[in-house]
Chains A and B, each alone.
Chain A
Amino acid sequence: MESVQRQNVMLPSPYRVHRVHRETEDTFTLELTGKDGAAPSEFIPGQFNMLYAFGIGEVPISISGRSESSGGWLQTIREVGTVTRALHRMKRGGVLGLRGPFGTGWPIEEAQGNDIVFMAGGIGLAPLRPALHVVQSKRDQFGEVVLLYGARTPESLLFEKERELWRAKFGVQVKVTVDAAGREWKRNVGVVTSLVERTSFDPDHTVAFICGPEVMMRFSVAELKQSGIPEDKIYISMERNMKCAVGFCGHCQFGPTFICKDGPVFRYDRIRRFLAVREI
């Protein structure tokens, strides 16, 4: 029986590309529905799917939201390799294979009644976006809501309209910075960590969610700790070479855990010691 379940969980289901949204030059969002057009199942913000470009390969991609019109899953993808390049070429009506959703999500309930800091780097805003949607829908259940977002250049910033909506309509403190810019950019330049001290929240009653490149998350944790947020209130979304997505293959083993099964969202103090091990 167990082997049948394992077999099933490894078998991709066909999903249809309902729409393709171009986000930036190398980043796009696929809106995916069932092959018959049906809306896919529920997911927990922070979870990921394995997307399979037929005949090419499979990649783990975090779910970045749900389409209001079709109900389809949104998968925001940056073109960085063979599979994501193939996914980038997909058009409306195309079919891909999908397994999921997998993994743990952001513990949004824990943040209720507290301030909440979202810290995103680059495409790391995508896995945080559905959590922001939940907070947006229950805005009165949270104190200060802060989004600190860093990207490489102004051109690579994601979800501009939505960031403006969060700021203007939902009272989210949205602060954005880029690592480098020309003179035409009149907003913040500098690393995302520099935004922490420009932000107001109550560190004793704040939960922080961080997603981005690992090195960015390490520096971000250090900055948030310095601002007074305890380690057990900081959550990070880890990324490793995930293959099976269910803890069978061991590709994403991280110390005693598997990123795919026990993560990708971890409480920082529970994995801190493994982050310092260069060989992992």
Chain B
Amino acid sequence: METLEPILSKHPFFKGLDKAYLELVTGCAKNVRFDAGQFIFRQHEDADVFYIIRQGKVALELSPPGRAPVTLQTINEEEILGWAWLVPPYHWRCDAQALELTRAIAFDGKCLRNKCMEDHSLGFELLNRLLPVIGKRMEATQLQLMDVYGAKK
């Protein structure tokens, strides 16, 4: 049976990852699809999975009580969706909704998390790859908070 390993080995997120680790990660991966409008996860739910988007677009949203939902960011093809699976308390920090038909590779984050606990080198490799994703999102949030296109105060 064909596995996802050739695809994953070419993805920037897994670039340079040891072959044994890549096989392990591949064992936790499967193809998934979401229809337009379908929620992929919701805020506060357990975060036990993460995704590489292969096709489509996903909106990260917040729904403040009594206010209309706000899209914070969109995740596009080839990008990583979800980091909360590796950061306690392993709960989603926002909603994720497919804006169009979206195909992705889903990873069993809970399984990988446990493997990371057993093998800290694997944990380091994955954290090393995930931290830039989190860092970029944080930097983007800072820029959004600055409201750079708003009127100067």
- Which chain A residues have a beta carbon within 8 Å of chain B's beta carbons? 80, 121-123, 150-152, 156, 177, 179-183, 185-191, 193-194, 198, 212-213, 215-216, 219
Other-chain contact of B140, A122, A156, A183, A194 (Cβ < 8 Å): A194
B125 at the interface (CB under 8 A from A): no
Other-chain contact of A183, B57, B68, B136, B144 (Cβ < 8 Å): B68
Whose C-beta in chain A lies nearest to the C-beta of B139?
A: A219
Whose C-beta in chain B lies nearest to the C-beta of A124?
A: B149
Whose C-beta in chain A lies nearest to the C-beta of B152?
A: A80
Other-chain contact of B147, A179, A186, A188, A193 (Cβ < 8 Å): A179
Restricting to B62-118, which residues have a CB under 8 Å from any CB of A? 68-74, 76, 99-100
B46 at the interface (CB under 8 A from A): no
Other-chain contact of A186, B61, B99, B148, B151 (Cβ < 8 Å): B99
| B148 and A121 within 8 A (CB) | yes
20 contacts between A and B (CB under 8 A): A80-B151, A152-B150, A179-B143, A179-B149, A180-B71, A180-B72, A182-B71, A183-B59, A186-B100, A188-B76, A189-B59, A189-B72, A189-B74, A190-B74, A191-B140, A193-B140, A215-B143, A216-B149, A219-B139, A219-B143
Query: B126-151 CB contact bits vs A (8 Å, 1 = yes)?
Result: 00000000001001100110111111
In the assembled complex, the Cα of A177 lies from the Cα of B75 at a distance in Å of: 12
In the assembled complex, the Cα of A204 lies from the Cα of B88 at a distance in Å of: 42
In the assembled complex, the Cα of A182 lies from the Cα of B61 at a distance in Å of: 9
In the assembled complex, the Cα of A215 lies from the Cα of B142 at a distance in Å of: 11
Given A191-B140, A193-B143, decide whether A181 and B149 contact each other with a Cβ distance below 8 A: no
Given contacts A180-B71, A188-B76, A189-B71, 19 further A-B contacts (CB under 8 A): A121-B149, A122-B148, A122-B149, A152-B150, A177-B74, A179-B143, A179-B147, A179-B149, A180-B70, A180-B144, A182-B68, A186-B99, A188-B74, A189-B74, A212-B149, A215-B143, A216-B148, A216-B149, A219-B139
In the assembled complex, the Cα of A53 lies from the Cα of B150 at a distance in Å of: 24
In the assembled complex, the Cα of A191 lies from the Cα of B137 at a distance in Å of: 10
Given A191-B143, A219-B143, decide whether A183 and B61 contact each other with a Cβ distance below 8 A: yes
Given A180-B144, A219-B143, decide whether A213 and B149 contact each other with a Cβ distance below 8 A: yes
Of B76, B100, B149, the most chain A CB neighbours within 10 A belong to B149
In the assembled complex, the Cα of A181 lies from the Cα of B136 at a distance in Å of: 20
B interface residues, how many (CB within 8 angstroms):
25
Residues of A close to B144: CB separation below 8 A = 179-180, 191
Other-chain contact of A181, B57, B71, B148 (Cβ < 8 Å): B71
Q: Top 7 closest A-B pairs, CB basis?
A: A122-B149, A152-B149, A213-B148, A189-B71, A190-B73, A191-B140, A191-B143
Residues of A close to B76: CB separation below 8 A = 188, 198
Residues of B close to A216: CB separation below 8 A = 143, 148-149
Residues of B close to A185: CB separation below 8 A = 71
Residues of B close to A188: CB separation below 8 A = 57, 74, 76
Nearest-CB distance from B141 to chain A (Å)? Answer: 9
Residues of B close to A182: CB separation below 8 A = 68-71
Residues of B close to A215: CB separation below 8 A = 143, 146, 148
Residues of A close to B70: CB separation below 8 A = 180-182
Residues of B close to A213: CB separation below 8 A = 148-149
In the assembled complex, the Cα of A259 lies from the Cα of B69 at a distance in Å of: 42
In the assembled complex, the Cα of A183 lies from the Cα of B36 at a distance in Å of: 12
Of A182, A187, A191, the most chain B CB neighbours within 10 A belong to A191
In the assembled complex, the Cα of A185 lies from the Cα of B97 at a distance in Å of: 13
| B149 and A151 within 8 A (CB) | yes
Residues of B close to A189: CB separation below 8 A = 59, 71-74
Given A183-B61, A191-B143, decide whether A212 and B148 contact each other with a Cβ distance below 8 A: yes
